[in-house]
Amino acid sequence: MAPRYTMTIVTDFAAAHYLRDYEGVCNRLHGHNWKVEVHVQASALDRVGMGMDFKDIKDATRGLLGGLDHYNLNDIAPFDQINPTAENIAAFFYSKLSDVLNSDVVKVSAVTIWETDRACVTYTED
């Protein structure tokens, strides 16, 4: 069996949003403290014995958060064009983090966005 290690970090950001074309109160401006879980898989360890340093995953994720934290997401690309749903936010993080973290042995495997304490979306790709 080939080894597989999954590293997970959790961070968060606060922002406002509203949902376009949505029947319900969420079509009005409101805010969330979104929790962002990033899962990264490695098929081998480095010389230290890590699949990927948590710090590197957090730094990459927080680099993206800086562009969202305390903004109205509807004002910020791509959410000025696509709805800032948890699904679209999860796909956004997955794509951006894959660009900077993926290598021959490491791959972003999933991003989970918790919109509230009781509701989340996980984005993965086959």
Ligand X SMILES: Nc1nc2c(c(=O)[nH]1)N=C([C@H](O)[C@H](O)COP(=O)(O)OP(=O)(O)OP(=O)(O)O)CN2
Residues that bind ligand X (CB under 6 A): 19, 26, 30, 85-87, 115-116, 118-119, 121
Single out the catalytic residue among 23, 115, 120, 125. 115
Does residue 26 have an active-site annotation? yes
- Name the one residue in this structure whose structure tokens are 């949003």: 17
Does residue 70 have an active-site annotation? yes
Annotated ligand binding at 17? The verdict is: yes
Task: Name the H helices within 14-85.
Answer: 54-65
- Judged by beta carbon, residue 60 or residue 113, the one nearer ligand X is 113
Report, in this order, helix, strand and coil percent for the chain, each rounded to 5.
Answer: 25, 35, 40
Which sequence positions are flagged as catalytic? Answer: 26, 70, 115
